[in-house]
């Protein structure tokens, strides 16, 4: 039998499904909808091997609906239209049990391919379930995303992974034909990187590599069997997150050598250029910010450039940007400021906007005092007037504290000169 273990033991019901309790547990956000068969169009977002395809199959089975599958890797607009036509004939507008169209790796669809889904989803010809490992905010067009609910699947934890192995040993007839002693699991879990499919397939490889009917699983045995097959950089596994973390921390730590090395690891591993550029965009604001505002411009230009040219030339642009960011002055003041402000909002709720700051487009609003006593800054010397711009309950609160760098020291002097005691850093 050539079918891999992960496929042979794929869960068929919610009771067999392991993990993702926040979605399909007793109080999961999808549990009630699945049991009632009231399924909205949705996007399942999570790392590889976390059960997205399995969950889509279970949803279709539990709701007793026709189930159509497309893979974004090898499907075009023509394939999409053919499936939609079949779905319309199978149900569509005339039944609540409209067919489910499952699209694996939907983030790989082009804009025109995603556009071709809009009418079918909008008119209820199909219930769309898309699976993606990438952030749908970036990879799914807004018109389609607005018609779908997004549900996040998490990487499997240690207990979940161990339960996957035990379940496979109990359910799979080929594994049951052997005596397996699961003595150690650390190497298996580490190699899997939270990917259930990878875990089961590595486990099967180790078991099948032993000629004896009795197999004792140890960390040494696992490493001896799979270490030679471990890739330099697994863009779908644990190293994907570890290496990009090292990359960003090198930039934050002002080390261009570290930044370029970890960048090279990602490039050689075939990492998506947009993923790398997107991380540098975030770092430009989080780690550099107002210490060098041009860093954000540089990172944004880099994102646009690498999206246009792709590999292999994109590596040069990525390297230029990484070195620029690593050698820039650093400040997380903007990052800290918005964090403090959001925390204040959560703690204080919807505070009233002071009357002078309110918009007054109608006579009634003006009569109620909206906008009265507002002092127009440009009517005063140096285009500045001392006024309060926070709700009364937060008067005097400071969210932004300039960082210790040349540019923000100038900003600090500017604020102190304007606000005197209010900005006494």
Regarding the domain delimited by 238-326, which CATH topology (the fold level of the hierarchy) does it fall under?
Answer: Zinc Finger, Delta Prime; domain 3 (1.20.272)
Q: What residues contact residue 414 under an 8 Å CB cut-off, 6+ apart?
A: none
The structural domains of the chain, with segments of one domain joined by +, span: 20-152, 158-229, 238-326, 344-423
In the block, residue with structure tokens 């219930």: 127
Which tokens sit at 18? 């392991």
Backbone region of residue 145 per phi and psi (left: phi > 0; alpha: psi in -120 to 50; beta: other values): alpha
| 3-state helix, strand and coil shares in percent for the chain, rounded to the nearest 5 | 55, 10, 35
Helical H segments across 39-106, by residue range: 52-63, 77-90
Strand segments, DSSP code E, in 306-365 are none
DSSP 327: T
Residue 112 CA to residue 198 CA, distance in Å, equals: 33
Residue 384 CA to residue 387 CA, distance in Å, equals: 9
In our burial notation (b when 16+ CB lie closer than 10 A, e otherwise), range 159-179 reads: ebbbebbeebbeebeebeeee
Do 262 and 232 form a contact (C-beta atoms < 8 A)? no
Q: Does domain 158-229 have CATH number 1.10.3470?
A: no
Residue 21 CA to residue 153 CA, distance in Å, equals: 10
Regarding the domain delimited by 344-423, which CATH topology (the fold level of the hierarchy) does it fall under?
Answer: post-AAA+ oligomerization domain-like (1.10.3710)
CATH number of the domain located at residue range(s) 20-152 in this protein = 3.40.50.300
Q: Strand 67-71 and strand 100-104: pairing?
A: parallel
Do 14 and 172 form a contact (C-beta atoms < 8 A)? no
Helical H segments across 173-218, by residue range: 173-176, 186-192, 196-209
Task: Tell me the torsion sign for CA atoms 284, 285, 288, 291.
Answer: positive
Do 59 and 34 form a contact (C-beta atoms < 8 A)? yes
In the block, residue with structure tokens 């965009």: 281
pLDDT at 191: 83
Residue 93 CA to residue 96 CA, distance in Å, equals: 8
DSSP 73: T
Integer angstrom CA distances of residue 32 from 29, 99, 102, 311: 7, 19, 20, 45
Residue 419 CA to residue 425 CA, distance in Å, equals: 11
Domains 158-229 and 344-423 share a fold: no
In our burial notation (b when 16+ CB lie closer than 10 A, e otherwise), range 280-307 reads: bbebbbbbbbbbbeebbebbeebbebbe
Q: Which of 172, 75, 155 is nearest to 117 (CA)?
A: 75
One digit per residue, the tens of pLDDT, for the chain of length 425 reads 578 899 999 999 888 999 899 999 888 889 888 888 788 899 999 988 899 999 999 998 888 888 899 888 778 888 888 888 887 776 544 444 688 999 998 988 888 889 999 999 998 889 999 999 888 888 899 999 999 999 999 988 899 999 999 999 999 988 988 899 999 999 898 888 788 998 999 999 999 888 888 989 998 998 888 764 444 455 555 567 788 989 999 999 999 999 999 999 888 888 889 999 999 999 999 999 999 999 999 999 999 999 999 888 999 999 999 999 999 999 999 999 999 999 988 888 888 888 888 887 777 777 777 778 888 888 888 888 888 888 888 888 888 888 888 888 888 888 887 887 666 65
Residue 416 CA to residue 425 CA, distance in Å, equals: 8
Radius of gyration in angstroms for the set of CA atoms belonging to the chain, rounded to a whole number: 28
Residue 271 CA to residue 324 CA, distance in Å, equals: 21
pLDDT at 32: 85
Residue 307 CA to residue 314 CA, distance in Å, equals: 8
């Amino acid at each position: 039998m050539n079918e891999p273990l992960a496929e042979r033991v794929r869960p068929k019901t919610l009771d067999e499904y392991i993990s993702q309790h926040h979605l399909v547990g007793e109080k999961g956000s999808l549990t009630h909808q699945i049991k009632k068969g009231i399924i909205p169009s949705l996007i399942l977002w999570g790392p590889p091997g976390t059960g997205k395809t399995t969950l889509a199959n279970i949803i279709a089975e539990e709701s007793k609906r026709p189930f159509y599958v497309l893979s974004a890797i090898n499907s075009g607009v023509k394939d999409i239209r053919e499936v939609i036509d079949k779905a319309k004939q199978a149900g569509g507008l005339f039944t609540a049990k409209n067919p489910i169209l499952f699209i694996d790796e939907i983030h790989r669809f082009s804009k025109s391919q995603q556009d071709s889904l809009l009418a079918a989803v909008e008119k209820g010809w199909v219930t769309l379930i898309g699976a993606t490992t990438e952030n749908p905010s970036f990879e799914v067009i807004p018109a389609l995303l607005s018609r779908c609910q997004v549900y996040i699947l998490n990487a499997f934890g240690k207990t979940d992974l161990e339960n996957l192995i035990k379940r496979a040993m109990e359910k799979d007839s080929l594994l049951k034909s052997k005596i397996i002693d699961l003595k150690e699991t650390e190497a298996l879990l580490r190699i899997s990187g939270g990917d259930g499919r990878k875990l089961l397939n590595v486990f099967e490889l180790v078991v099948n590599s032993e000629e004896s009917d009795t197999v004792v699983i140890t960390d040494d045995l696992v490493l001896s069997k799979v270490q030679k097959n471990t890739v330099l950089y697994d863009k779908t596994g644990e190293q994907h997150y570890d290496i990009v973390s090292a990359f960003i921390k090198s930039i934050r730590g002002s080390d261009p050598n570290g930044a370029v090395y970890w960048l090279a690891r990602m490039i050689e591993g075939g990492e998506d250029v947009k993923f790398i550029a997107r991380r540098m965009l975030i770092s430009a604001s989080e780690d550099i910010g107002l210490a060098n505002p041009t860093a954000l411009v540089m990172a944004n230009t880099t994102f646009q450039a690498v999206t246009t040219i792709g590999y292999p030339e994109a590596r040069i642009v990525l390297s230029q940007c990484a070195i620029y960011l690593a050698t820039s002055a650093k400040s997380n003041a903007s990052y800290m400021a918005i964090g403090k402000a959001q925390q204040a909002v959560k703690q204080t709720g919807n505070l009233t906007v002071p009357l002078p700051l309110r918009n007054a487009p109608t006579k009634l609003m003006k009569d109620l005092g909206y906008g009265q006593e507002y002092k127009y800054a440009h009517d005063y010397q140096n285009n500045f007037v001392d006024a309060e711009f926070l709700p009364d309950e937060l008067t005097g609160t400071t969210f932004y504290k300039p960082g210790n760098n040349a540019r923000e020291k100038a900003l600090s002097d500017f604020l102190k000169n304007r606000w005197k005691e209010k900005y006494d850093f």
